[in-house]
């Protein structure tokens, strides 16, 4: 590397250090160690390697950087500020303050240039693997020899904690299997964790582990720009597999008394150590001072970066003219295209009754796969059981990215994080599937999808004790309540094939994550659910059986228990009871309705309010009140056929009618 360039990058590195330590100190909160240790990496990536246009952070062929070690967020914010993204110095000074664009951990959509919400360690690795897979999919679909539209790289910066978390193992294993030759994982190997030296908790050979995954592995001195240029240049020129770059660094580099110790990991340096560090590094005494030469360096780059995008736009114009049908698909995918007649298309699908809602969903997926080019799905080794396979479309495999079905293997957590990464390409609508009880493995990734939010869809099957003989290890009890507790996640449990159709419509229209929860057992279609989306699923809850006079009972139910509630109502009316039945497939959608509508469904003199759901009653009392009856699960299930379980736990017409007519004293 040219000596003048190295000298300039050294100045950039020190500017990253200064902004980071001062912002952390001003906030009196944060993690200065990683930004100080990786400052040269930031200078090299943003100053010499990444192909981006900071003036348009959404340029489709940009390189994408994901900071999995999200606690080191000031490293990323400093890099973004210096390189010309819309992140003014004032926002750097507001690090970790209310409503600033520089929160404690990076949040997607809040800060220009932040590609994913990270913080819980390791998830950024999963997100990056998903992005890399998504970009390989887009390249396979759109690239032509004369029009290489997608040639970008995904760079993920991770620390010891990320490498130790199980999700990184899951994601890295699958990335190696698929031969994602656009993924670069930079491992900040400083041998320090938050609690102390890494040697106290970890002694594995990470390099050999990644070689076993099928990755290429390089080792780089984190302060050697020549070595960085050689290694990253080789990767840019010819990459055949995912790459791990083990970057040897010193945490807190530059701090005279704390460098190389865990004391600089999660706490500000302190005023005296900040002053000592600035003196040791020859930094300006003035706070948040950036040398004009650093500013000029990046200002000169901006024009070249804008030319990159301009050249790409011209290539895309020629591509659109040469391949109009492909260009039309591109625009559909980029705009999350939904046909105006999608509701009618879904309603026209022939589904025989009775049918398990997991099977109804699979029938819908076959049509959705044909009409939505952006729809890509996969399963955690359960596609034959959770029925997520789009049968007419092929499977993605190692180096083969032309399919639409993804086999994630038994890697639920990585699957959820990678689905988020697919969504983050901005052109792919991902869905993924497993059994509802295994949503526990995915929960933290689902939570971040809801926080961000990402447009991801989860198909959870085997939704209750009625999956039967597999027993209580596989029978979900608390899972509906746990998912409903996540803000901004739509949890939909359809009662029959029509509600399944409309659940997919709801999930595709909602610009956040949705969990569609489906049965293993067959369910009958109900005449009352066959109503327009706007009157049924689009309301979240609606009356499926109207009372004939003031109700004696109002039954609230979801999923397989709606048809049961309808049978109970019919039996009660034979003994002169007036009964209302409410299907509540999605509480979250219902709570967004007008107050007048909500009152018309769940308020007023409704008699005895009864919830019927084969899951914990947690949350139901908001609708049935303290005096209401919850016919729900009070413990775990058993291994037995579904009819026997219904008898055992009181989910039969006879048992429910007896309980309501002759309540326990």
Catalytic positions, written as ranges: 412
Three-state secondary structure string covering 6-42: HHHHHHHHHHHHHHHHHHHHHHCCCCCHHHHHCHHHH
- Parallel, antiparallel, or unpaired for β 196-197 and 192-193? antiparallel
In 253-298 the beta strands, taken as DSSP E runs, fall at none
Candidates 474, 492, 477; CA nearest to 533 is 492
Q: How many Å apart are CA 514 and CA 450, to the nearest integer?
A: 9
Radius of gyration of the chain (CA): 28
* Nearest residue to 392 via CA among 382, 377, 379: 377
Three-state DSSP at 296 gives helix
**Tokens for 359?**
């099977």
Q: What are the beta bridge partners of residue 157?
A: 67, 186
User: Residue 545's beta-bridge partner residues?
Assistant: 581
208: tokens are: 């050999």
Alpha helices in 249-291 (DSSP H): 271-281
Of 543, 579, 546, 551, residue with least CA distance to 656: 579
Residue 443's alpha-carbon distances to 306, 315, 380, 399, 417, in angstroms, are 40, 41, 14, 30, 10
CB atoms within 10 A of CB 316: 17
Half-sphere exposure of 664 (CA within 13 A, CB side): 7
Cβ atoms of 583 and 558 within 8 Å: the answer is yes
Beta bridge partners of 461: 435
Structure tokens, 396: 């993605």
- 630 strand-pairing partners: 611
From CA 293, how far away is CA 159, in angstroms rounded? 31
The answer, yes or no, to whether the previous bond of 453 is cis (omega within 30 of 0) is yes
Q: What is the rounded distance in angstroms from the CA atom of residue 220 to the CA atom of residue 222? A: 6
Alpha carbon distances (Å) from 224 to 12, 42, 161, 597: 14, 13, 24, 65
Helices (H), 105-237: 123-142, 160-164, 166-178, 206-213, 225-237
* b/e burial code for range 435-465 (CB count within 10 A of at least 16 → b): bbbbbebbbbbbbbbbbbbbbbbbbbbbbbb
Give backbone dihedrals phi and psi of 243, rounded to 5 degrees, phi first.
Answer: -125, 135
Element at 420 (helix H, strand E): helix 412-423
Tell me how far apart the alpha carbons of residues 542 and 17 are, in angstroms, rounded to a whole number: 57
* Residue matched to tokens 């070595």: 227
């Amino acid at each position: 590397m040219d000596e003048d360039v190295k000298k300039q990058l050294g100045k950039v590195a020190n500017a990253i250090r200064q902004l980071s330590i001062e912002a952390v100190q001003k906030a009196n909160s944060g993690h200065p160690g990683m930004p100080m240790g990786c400052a040269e990496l930031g200078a090299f990536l943003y100053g010499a390697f990444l192909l981006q246009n900071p003036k348009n952070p959404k340029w489709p062929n940009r390189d994408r950087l994901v900071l999995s070690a999200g606690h080191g967020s000031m490293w990323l914010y400093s890099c973004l500020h210096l390189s010309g993204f819309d992140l003014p110095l004032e926002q750097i000074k507001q690090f970790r303050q209310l409503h600033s664009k520089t929160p404690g951990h990076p949040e997607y959509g809040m800060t220009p240039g932040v590609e994913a919400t990270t913080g819980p360690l390791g998830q950024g690795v999963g997100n990056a693997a998903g992005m890399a897979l998504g970009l390989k999919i887009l390249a396979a679909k759109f690239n032509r020899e004369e029009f290489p539209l997608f040639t970008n790289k995904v760079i993920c910066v991770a620390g010891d904690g990320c490498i130790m978390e199980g999700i990184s193992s899951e994601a890295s294993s699958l990335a190696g299997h698929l031969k994602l030759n656009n993924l670069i994982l930079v491992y900040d190997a400083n041998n320090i964790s938050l609690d102390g030296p890494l040697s106290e908790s970890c002694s594995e050979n990470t390099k050999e582990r990644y070689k076993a995954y099928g990755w290429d592995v390089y080792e780089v001195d984190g302060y050697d720009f020549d070595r960085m240029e050689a290694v990253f240049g080789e990767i840019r020129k010819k990459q055949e597999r995912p790459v791990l770059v083990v970057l040897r660094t010193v945490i807190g580099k530059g701090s005279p008394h704390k460098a190389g110790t865990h004391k600089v990991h999660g706490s500000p340096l302190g005023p005296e150590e900040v002053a000592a560090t600035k003196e040791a590094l020859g930094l300006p005494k003035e706070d948040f001072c950036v040398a004009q030469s650093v500013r000029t360096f990046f200002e000169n780059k901006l024009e070249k970066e804008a030319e990159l995008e301009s050249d790409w736009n011209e290539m895309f114009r020629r591509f659109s003219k040469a391949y109009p049908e492909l260009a039309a698909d591109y625009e559909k995918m980029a705009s999350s295209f939904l046909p105006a007649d999608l509701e009618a298309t879904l309603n026209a699908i022939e589904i025989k009754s009775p049918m398990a809602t997991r099977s109804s969903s699979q029938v819908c997926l076959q049509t959705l796969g044909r009409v939505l080019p952006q729809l890509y799905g996969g399963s955690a080794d359960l596609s034959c059981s959770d029925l997520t396979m789009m049968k007419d479309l092929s499977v993605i495999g190692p180096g083969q990215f032309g399919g639409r079905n993804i086999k994630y293997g038994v890697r639920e957590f990585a699957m959820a994080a990678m689905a988020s990464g697919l969504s983050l390409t901005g052109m792919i609508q991902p869905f993924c599937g497993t059994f509802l009880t295994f949503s526990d493995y995915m929960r933290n990734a689902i939570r971040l999808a809801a926080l961000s939010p990402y447009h991801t869809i989860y198909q959870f099957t085997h939704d209750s004790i009625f999956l039967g003989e597999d027993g209580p290890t596989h029978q979900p009890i608390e899972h509906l309540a746990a998912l409903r507790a996540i803000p901004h996640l739509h949890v939909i449990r359809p009662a029959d094939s029509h509600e399944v159709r409309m659940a997919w419509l709801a999930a595709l229209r909602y610009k956040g994550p949705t969990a569609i929860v489906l049965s293993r057992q067959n369910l009958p279609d109900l005449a009352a659910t066959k109503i327009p989306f706007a009157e049924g699923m689009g309301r979240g809850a609606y009356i499926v059986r109207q009372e004939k006079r003031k109700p004696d009972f109002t039954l609230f139910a979801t999923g397989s228990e709606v048809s049961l509630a309808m049978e109970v109502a019919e039996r009660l009316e034979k003994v002169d009871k007036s009964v209302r039945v409410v299907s509540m497939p999605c509480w979250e959608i219902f709570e967004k309705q007008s107050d007048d509508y909500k009152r018309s469904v769940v308020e007023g003199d409704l008699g005895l309010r009864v919830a019927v759901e084969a899951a914990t009653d947690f949350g139901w009392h908001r609708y049935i009140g303290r005096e209401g009856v919850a016919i729900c699960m009070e413990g775990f299930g058993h291994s037995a056929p579904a009819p026997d379980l219904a008898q055992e736990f009181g989910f039969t017409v006879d048992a429910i009618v007896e309980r309501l007519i002759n309540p326990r004293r």
